[in-house]
Amino acid sequence: MKNAIELLKKHDLLKIIDEELDIYLEIPHIAYVEVKRPDSKAILFTNVVDKKTGKKFDTPVLMNVFCNEKAVKLFIGDGDKIGKEIESLLKMKPPTTFSEKISTFTKLFSLKNTIPKKSKAKGECQEIIKLGADAKLSDLPVLTTWEQDGGPFITMGQVYTQSLNGQMKNLGMYRLQVYDDNTLGMHWQIHKDSNHFFHEYKKAGKKMPVSIGIGGDPMYIWCGQAPLPIGVFELMLYGFVKNKNAQLVKSITNDIYVPRDNDFIIEGFVDPSQMRIEGPFGDHTGYYTLEEEYPFMEVTAITSKRDPVFLATVVGKPPLEDKYMGFATERIFLPLLQTTAPDLIDYYMPENGVFHNLILGKINTFYPGHAQQMMHAFWGVGQMSFVKHAIFVNQDAPELTNHSAITEHILNRIDIEEILISRGVVDALDHSSPKFAIGGKLGIDCTGEEVKELGITQISDDELLKKMQDISSEVTQVKQYFIHTKNPITVIKVNKTRSQRELFEDLKPVFNHIKVLIFVDDLKNDLDNTYMLIWRVVNNIDSNRDLYFDKNTIALDATNKNALDNYTRTWPDDVDCTREVLVSLQQRGIIDLDEKFEKEFQLT
């Protein structure tokens, strides 16, 4: 962490704030505002307090360490270059010439660095050792990020676990709720290696050892969220990218090995026979994830450096730190994805699609149904299986990151006949599906030629609004987008009083003016803010329930769901900043906000 801080300083990527600031809301709100700026920087908070208890912390808090693409390259490297190195290994052929043999030997020899090295000595992370009752989580400056959070959460914890027989190791990054001084929630989801290990211990009736690292090399964080195949230890990826072995030491009270340079290590055991309600928590979807039962760890030790730094992140509505980490992940893992989907040229997961809610893919199309085949391949590959909405284009499409051009390209090729609706596993954080962790999948094949006919008569927004309001007063506003394409988009705001399927049926007389219709709630949506509208739509729809068709018109119901939709789960609130905290921070000159910025990112 100290090296990371110096590197950030050297490249003018660090802000240092010495004012006294609270771990409850204040510090996270500052980081949340900062990371949304185009020139965002990491922030080191040096004067950290808990105003509720009056406690002052000696430990500074570092946030937004992956503050932009430059920071990602500093700590991880060039994603495209690393991806090409992986590709060269995957495509390695038996050498035929002496120079090829030398090149092959060099590549294979470098792989020795992927295996972590274990030391019998203690590490810097164990310079201070606190055991039993002396190991108090309240001694750490753990943040409470959002007003409705169930409590303080560790948000940059590196969770180290191993299989029952000790042969398989895993590094995961999960949120960790602090219940009390010695109890820590384990939010590993059903598809994570740690959860698989958990069930091994549960079946054997044994307690599961867990150690959690905080700080150290920022690369550990990225490795912890990398979509590696089950059974591959993430610190091998660290060794491959860094070209040096991860240096590990044994935990003090269990058999888990952890990086010697972590700033903190929290050790303990999970009793698989016991569960506890975890949450709610304002998560990276931009919504609160609801209370669910999860395992928890009883803390047996907390060790640290003599002069540690506490690393944390903030999640909520995009854009966030994961925007920049996610871009590196895209580039680096493209070659691995191509082993399962060899006709894939490129893919893009926009951050306002919160990654698992929307993916754009570019493929070499060779035969009818090729895109649909790719959809099924994606939905069956590791963490790609959690993607809800996939749109595929042909190799001649614009760059996937050219938002305006690729949107026009897609809208000129949407054909109702080329839409695939399926069902499968979705991320446990998804709130729109009727059931926990299983919901609709939507695939759109836009690999063909432009569709022939527009088939509608276009009128102005005002005229269309009047026609709709003559049918139903529920419609409060209308805005049309990309009206020059073959499939213009019409978004309407509604005061929802019934199922939108009923409103869809009532609005059929105006469908001669509409190709793609999207319903959003009147409250908390701005039709001039397309970035946040996309975030809202892909979060809020389940394709099995919320897509309606009528001849040439497609409709998506992106309103909040409730009993009117036969939705029986609890629909969560948006993650919003606390207005009083923002006002206080602004009055003290710690943040600088204007109305435009607040509206652009829907802070409140």
The pLDDT, as a whole number, for residue 92 is 53
Task: Tell whether 62 and 168 lie within a shared domain.
Answer: yes
Q: What is the pLDDT of residues 75-116, one digit of tens each?
A: 998 888 887 877 766 565 666 665 655 555 455 545 678 899
Single out the residue in 412, 446, 480 at which a domain terminates. Answer: 446
CATH of the domain at 537: 3.40.1670.10
Task: Tell whether 136 and 273 lie within a shared domain.
Answer: yes
Task: Tell whether 391 and 516 lie within a shared domain.
Answer: no
The structure's pTM equals: 0.94
Q: What is the pLDDT of residues 108-154, one digit of tens each?
A: 545 678 899 999 999 999 999 999 999 999 999 999 999 999 999 99
| Any domain includes 489 | yes
The pLDDT, as a whole number, for residue 194 is 86
Task: Tell whether 305 and 415 lie within a shared domain.
Answer: no
Task: For 267-294, give the secondary structure using H, E and C.
Answer: EEEECCCCCEEECCEECCCCEEECCEEE
Cross-sheet strand order for the sheet of 55-57: 21-22, 48-50, 55-57
Listed as own residue / partner, the contacts of 235-243 with beta carbons closer than 8 Å and 24 or more positions apart are: 235/116, 235/169, 235/171, 235/259, 236/114, 236/115, 236/116, 237/114, 238/116, 239/113, 239/114, 239/115, 239/116, 240/86, 240/111, 240/113, 240/114, 241/76, 241/77, 241/82, 241/332, 242/113, 243/110, 243/113
Question: Over the chain (604 residues), what is each successive 10-residue block's mean pLDDT?
Answer: 95 98 98 96 98 97 96 90 74 60 53 88 97 97 98 97 94 96 91 86 97 97 87 90 94 98 98 96 95 96 98 97 90 86 93 93 95 90 88 97 98 95 92 94 96 89 98 98 97 97 97 97 97 98 97 95 96 97 97 96 96
| Any domain includes 71 | yes
Single out the residue in 312, 327, 355 at which a domain terminates. Answer: 312
Within 10 A of 290 (CB to CB), how many other CB atoms are there?
A: 16
Q: Contact at 8 Å (CB) between 361 and 338?
A: no
Task: Tell whether 253 and 356 lie within a shared domain.
Answer: no
Task: Tell whether 285 and 199 lie within a shared domain.
Answer: yes
CATH of the domain at 267: 2.30.110.10
| Any domain includes 318 | no
| Any domain includes 526 | yes
| Any domain includes 72 | yes
Question: What is the DSSP annotation of 426-450?
Answer: --TT--SSSBTTEEEEEEEEE-SPP
| Any domain includes 602 | no
The pLDDT, as a whole number, for residue 101 is 54
Task: Tell whether 437 and 468 lie within a shared domain.
Answer: no
Q: Which of 223, 259, 262, 218 is nearest to 64 (CA)?
A: 218
The pLDDT, as a whole number, for residue 112 is 76
The pLDDT, as a whole number, for residue 339 is 84
Single out the residue in 417, 446, 475 at which a domain terminates. Answer: 446
Residue in the block written with tokens 């808990």: 50
Task: Tell whether 402 and 304 lie within a shared domain.
Answer: no
**Torsion region of 286: left, alpha or beta (phi above 0 gives left; psi -120 to 50 gives alpha):** left
| Any domain includes 32 | yes
Count of residues making up the chain = 604
Task: Tell whether 57 and 105 lie within a shared domain.
Answer: yes
Q: Which domain holds residue 156?
A: 2-312
Task: Tell whether 424 and 470 lie within a shared domain.
Answer: no
Q: Contact at 8 Å (CB) between 47 and 18?
A: yes
Task: Tell whether 24 and 162 lie within a shared domain.
Answer: yes
| Any domain includes 317 | no
- Domain tally, the chain: 3
Cα–Cα–Cα angle for 20, 23, 29, rounded to 5 degrees: 90
Q: Which of 595, 599, 591 is nearest to 32 (CA)?
A: 591
Task: Tell whether 159 and 308 lie within a shared domain.
Answer: yes
